[in-house]
A and B are shown apart, each in its own frame.
Chain A
Amino acid sequence: MPFGKTRENCAIAMNNEYHDADRVEKPVPDFPTAVVRDDRIGLLNKSNWLFLALTAACLGFALYLGYTSTVPDGELITVHFADGHGLKAEDALRFRGITIGQVEEIRLRDDLAGVDVDVRLRPDGEAVAREGSVFWVERPQLSLSRMSGLETVVGAKYLGVIPGPADAPQSSEFAGQENPPRLRQSSDVSVLVRFKDGSGIESGDAVKFRGVIVGEVSDVRLDENFQFVEVRAQLVDRAKVLAQTGTVFWVERPKVNFRDGIRGLETLVGGKYLALMPNPSDGLAQTEFEGAEKPPTNWQDWTPFSRIGDAWSKDEKNPADAMSGEGEEVNDRPARRVLGRIRETIEALDDAVN
């Protein structure tokens, strides 16, 4: 008898044996009669319309979801760049620190002369789609003292924008800038220092003046004749005035005092840095230097000269400064914060020097 049959077998057993009682030849055992009750699940008893409405509601909901998530809700603009800088679809367009759009697609132009970046603006960000708006690919540019991996650690690139004048007409095609506007008229100065011995200096090491980071080593390589080590360094912002005739560069290794124990991670990891001492008198702007093998003897005692910066003062009027007020709020990223701090330090330094 089918007592204790499993759920699955039950149905098939009924099909074969019990559905048609007449077919059973053996005398039918005395089966209990099922108890009849009022159907308490009233819902199942209600009209068919209820269930059809349920299906219709599902259909409506599915269509609604499909519609809202496939039909884009903002304007599409195209920005042309010469270099994509690793920008990807789904990267953000940010303004004043918030996302106002998303990169939808990046296409190589047919003539291979650049890339077209399609950006879908959010409705509240549509105002930036007007003539005169400046777009650029924001990416970590300076990796100061051992933060060279910043780009991979902190990750995504994004598009930055500074909107054009408020009364400018609408536009949907833009030519992107290669660099963020604040660095566009870059106040950084690249200097080249030749050393007989690299002393282990590496790209990404800091350039320090009086123990303060004023720049970064961007490249270290041997020259064509294997005679020198060429160290390229960026001096940030106003520290550029330190690059003038007579400035001495050397590779400084921090002294580790084992008796007192090693203090600070800096000593362990990024020990070396490029140190510099400016010319004690007025000099001319210069970007190529011969590195010194040893620090000048009295470099700690160096005193400010009267008119530091004269050599570079012809481009004192710096358009980037005007922009940076705007940029400060847009950039909330660690690299920028570090840069900002460095800039403050340099400004303080500059004030002290003057």
Chain B
Amino acid sequence: MSGFKACHCCGLVHRMPTLGIGKVAVCSRCDTPIHRQRAAGKSTLPTAAAALGAFILFWPAILLPILDIERLGHHHESSIVTGTIQLISEGSWFVGFVVLLFSIIFPLLKIMMLLELSVLGLFHRKHRAVTYRLMESAGKWSMMDVLLLAFLVMLIKVGSLVQFQVGPAIFAFVLCVAMSMLASLMFDPHAIWEDA
């Protein structure tokens, strides 16, 4: 017996049986996995690996050119960062800050918090709960995937008017979104208190 755990999805509290290796305990009501016993290593390892991957890919995604726009012979390469800076310097404060906040700061915060929760463990246990909740709410507002969709829609819609070429950053961007989604999917909040 390892105490009680609430279902992450529906909240029903369960008595936890002892789990053998490679077994998973699921909610008796909604079938959501509550706890899994990994064959080897800490249960946070998959999350940590994916979050670290996302963290690494985040930088090329925002720094390298993501779009090469050719309009009437003018070439313009822009990355997410230079695009945001350009927006702000041209006086589009609101749009600029919205992009800065939701496409750069929140996604980075989310990835950093996932990292903190899964590997770093810099904060005290009590604060990690706060980190977790922050991560959940910051994650809701990190709009990388939305930005990606916006890009795709733009590519399709405006394609005939202006010539677009995607830059190398788009690949990093797609992978980064995938990695951070994978990390948060695999993250088991119970792991926060598991080994303290």
Which residues from chain A sit less than 8 Å from chain B, CB to CB?
A: 1-8, 10-15, 18-21, 31-40, 44-48, 51-52, 54-55, 57-59, 61-62, 65-66, 68-69, 90-92, 102, 153-156, 158
Considering only CB atoms, which chain A residue lies closest to B126 in the complex? A15
Chain B residues closer than 8 Å to A12, beta-carbon distance: 129, 133
Chain A residues closer than 8 Å to B192, beta-carbon distance: 11
Chain A residues closer than 8 Å to B136, beta-carbon distance: 7-8
Q: Is there contact, CB below 8 Å, between B28 and A33?
A: yes
Stretch at the interface among B84-92, B100-108, B167-175: B167-175
Chain A residues closer than 8 Å to B57, beta-carbon distance: 58, 61-62
Chain A residues closer than 8 Å to B28, beta-carbon distance: 32-35
Considering only CB atoms, which chain A residue lies closest to B49 in the complex? A51
Whole-angstrom CA separation of A1 from B29 in the bound complex:
16
Out of B20, B59, B129, name the residue touching A62 (CB < 8 Å). Answer: B59
Whole-angstrom CA separation of A156 from B76 in the bound complex:
11
Which residues from chain B sit less than 8 Å from chain A, CB to CB?
A: 3-17, 19-20, 22-29, 34-41, 45-46, 48-50, 52-54, 56-57, 59-60, 64-65, 71-77, 125-126, 129, 132-133, 136-137, 167-169, 171-172, 175, 179, 186, 189-190, 192-193
Considering only CB atoms, which chain A residue lies closest to B37 in the complex? A39
Chain A residues closer than 8 Å to B132, beta-carbon distance: 11
Interface centre among B12, B57, B72, B126 (most CB of A within 10 A): B12
A334: min CB distance to chain B, Å: 11
Whole-angstrom CA separation of A8 from B17 in the bound complex:
24
Q: Is there contact, CB below 8 Å, between A45 and B56?
A: no
Chain A residues closer than 8 Å to B129, beta-carbon distance: 11-12, 15
Q: Given the interface contacts A69-B167, A92-B75, does A45 sit within 8 Å of B175 by beta carbon?
A: no
Q: 18 A-B pairs, CB-CB below 8 angstroms?
A: A4-B10, A7-B8, A10-B7, A15-B125, A18-B6, A19-B193, A20-B3, A32-B29, A36-B17, A38-B23, A40-B24, A51-B49, A55-B53, A58-B175, A62-B59, A65-B168, A69-B64, A156-B72
Whole-angstrom CA separation of A10 from B172 in the bound complex:
34
A333: min CB distance to chain B, Å: 8
Q: Is there contact, CB below 8 Å, between B133 and A45?
A: no
Kindly count the residue-residue contacts between A and B in the assembled complex, taking CB atoms under 8 Å apart: 180
Shortest 5 CB-CB contacts between residues of A and residues of B: A58-B53, A51-B49, A156-B73, A155-B72, A34-B25
Chain B residues closer than 8 Å to A91, beta-carbon distance: 74-75
Q: Is there contact, CB below 8 Å, between A92 and B73?
A: yes
Considering only CB atoms, which chain A residue lies closest to B34 in the complex? A34
Out of A5, A6, A45, A52, name the residue touching B49 (CB < 8 Å). Answer: A52
Q: Is there contact, CB below 8 Å, between B53 and A34?
A: no
Q: Is there contact, CB below 8 Å, between B64 and A44?
A: no
Q: Is there contact, CB below 8 Å, between B186 and A34?
A: no
B79: min CB distance to chain A, Å: 10
Chain B residues closer than 8 Å to A5, beta-carbon distance: 6, 11
B75: min CB distance to chain A, Å: 4
Out of A8, A10, A15, A40, name the residue touching B193 (CB < 8 Å). Answer: A15
Whole-angstrom CA separation of A14 from B194 in the bound complex:
12
Q: Is there contact, CB below 8 Å, between A51 and B46?
A: yes
Chain B residues closer than 8 Å to A59, beta-carbon distance: 53, 56
Chain A residues closer than 8 Å to B133, beta-carbon distance: 8, 11-12
Chain B residues closer than 8 Å to A54, beta-carbon distance: 49-50, 53
Chain B residues closer than 8 Å to A55, beta-carbon distance: 49-50, 52-53, 56
Q: Is there contact, CB below 8 Å, between A61 and B172?
A: yes
A347: min CB distance to chain B, Å: 29
Whole-angstrom CA separation of A156 from B74 in the bound complex:
5
Q: Given the interface contacts A33-B14, A61-B175, does A45 sit within 8 Å of B168 by beta carbon?
A: no
Chain B residues closer than 8 Å to A52, beta-carbon distance: 49
Whole-angstrom CA separation of A57 from B52 in the bound complex:
11
Q: Is there contact, CB below 8 Å, between B193 and A48?
A: no
Chain A residues closer than 8 Å to B56, beta-carbon distance: 55, 58-59, 62
